[in-house]
Structure 1
Amino acid sequence: MSSASLPLPGGLPLPDTQGPPGREAAQARLYLLNGFSLFLAGDRVRLPLHAQRVLAFLALARQDGVTCSRDAVVGRLWADSTVEHANGSLRTALWRIRSAWAGLVAAGRNELALGPEVSVDLQSCRDQAGRLLSRDMDLAAGDIDCSTLTGELLPAWDEDWLLVERERLRQLQLHALEALAVRLRKLGRYPEAIDAALRAVAIEPLRESVHAVLIDVCFDEGNVAAAHGYLRQYRALLQAELGLEPSPQILARFRTPATGEVRAPARAQPLQAAPSLRPAPAV
């Protein structure tokens, strides 16, 4: 039986409608970062949680090029339910999804996939990260935007099948932000490089390579005091969390290559008395 004729509880047939008029395929957008939201032709569509879970699961499968069997979807999303109840829940979820727009899900006899016309913010994040991490690819116009590289994957959902996916995304975002900071440093765009590096530090505060980039940017700008400040913060965190010291590689940045002397902040010069502004006495 095809998905177009899956019955609802009560025997109602699934409508063959392509959704409300005016909802174009190219305007179907699914957002999974920082929470679930779905937009069709610019309008937000509200779906029940069980339908949201199906769309999210299929979106994650699509990013890996996987087409899911119905049994796989049921087994992961309703693992604690009986087979009969789980299959019924899937049918109801598909009804609600296709009632919004049939193109959201491509449903075969035994397989399910997210509709090919649906864009997903998670895939945009992965594409951006891929360009940042590739030495051979030029950056797109929006690749220096860090917002898509810092979102969390459905943070309010308590789902076992999301645990590994969240860690995969975290690692990808972390490496992409570090790569972005390095690229921006080479371009001399220091404020943006510092912003990208600090966002990476927020994801993984103990990642030394990110602190090294942050310190390098400060030295490039001539902000030796700022570089020492970031080193102090990193050293204190490292000692408190792991009882370790920063590596010799990061400490070597604070010595001049020629003499090996410590690159210390410039000493503040004593203030000189300001010249008097009182008029000279009349002669």
Structure 2
Amino acid sequence: MTEKDCGRQTLAERLWEHAAPERSLASLRTALWLIRRAGPGLLSGDAERVALADHVDVDVHRFRRQAESMLAGDGGDADLRLLCAAADLLPGWDEDWLLLFREQLRLLRLHTLETVGRRYCEQGHHPQAIDLILRVVAEEPLRESAQAVLIDAHLGAGNAAEARRQFDVFAANLWQELELRPSAQLGQRVGVPGTRR
């Protein structure tokens, strides 16, 4: 059908994963009846599949489209603000089936922000790159690819001391948390030769 549809059995198993199959299907039928009653026209489908109606906007799909657009270099400032403000998928829910989807969206967001930050550096917009990548580093302080963009932005802005300080903080955190050293490539950016052990 569309990217918004799902098999009834699959949907029932995901939403009521600890229930018996017959019970989860019964719960799904009840939920669908309540949704149709509360919002006629929100759902479509048949006996095998359930889908959101074409006019229903899904924020996760919009997020993915914006991220893909930005990765392709087509996104604008409005897309970037939405991406920066993105929250976890279904906060407060702790179902197992959500873990993979949350992680996929989180990594897509971080990768997109890094790509935009790298693009800012290439365009000479170093303060914007620093501001953007600091968000990624705050969320994932051990993410070396983000640290590399941040260090490059500091160097591009003419702040070699700030770049070295960032490297030293990252190296100390990486050693303290994982007993790893930064890659030789990262160290070479600030004049620190060495290899990861």
Q: Normalized against structure 1, the TM-score is what?
A: 0.61
Q: What percentage of residue pairs aligned between the two structures are identical?
A: 43
Which amino acid is the alignment partner of residue 179 of structure 1?
T
- Aligned 8 A contact 1:149 1:173 in 2: no
Q: Does 1:254 align with 2:178?
A: no
Structure 2: give runs of 5+ residues left out of the alignment: none
Q: Structure 1 counterpart of 2:182, which letter?
A: P
Tell me the SS of whatever aligns to 1:143.
helix
Structure with larger RCO (C-alpha < 8 A, sep 6+):
1
Hey, what's the Cα distance between the residues in 2 that align with 1:101 and 1:151?
A: 26
CA contact (8 A) 2:174 2:181 kept: yes
- The Cα offsets for residues 113-148 of structure 1, whole Å up to 9 and x where unpaired, read as 1221111221122112112222xx423352332545
Measure, in 2, the Cα distance between the counterparts of 1:87 and 1:143. Answer: 38
State the match for 1:71 in structure 2: 9
Kept in 2, the 8 Å contact 1:197–1:214? The answer is: yes
Name the CA shift for 1:220/1:198 in 2 (closer, same or farther; >3 Å).
same
- Once the two structures are superposed, residues 76-100 of structure 1 have per-residue CA deviations (whole angstroms, 9 ceiling, x without a partner) of 2223223443233212211221223
Gaps of 5+ in 1: 1-60, 261-283
More helix by share: 2
Deviations 1:41-81, CA, capped at 9 Å, x for gaps = xxxxxxxxxxxxxxxxxxxx96xx36322122122222322
Change (3 A) 1:147 1:67: closer
What is aligned with 2:54?
A: 116
Choose which of 99, 115, 120 in structure 2 pairs with 1:184. 120
**AA partner of residue 113 (structure 2):** L
TM-score by length of 2: 0.86
User: For the Cα contact (< 8 Å) 1:197–1:210, is it kept in 2?
Assistant: yes
Give the Cα–Cα distance (whole angstroms) in 2 for the partners of residues 99 and 244 of structure 1.
56
Compute the RMSD of aligned alpha carbons.
Answer: 2.3
Tell me which of 128, 150, 175 is aligned to 2:66: 128
Aligned to 1:277: none
Which of 135, 147, 151 lines up with 1:215 in the alignment?
151
Matched pairs, number = 192
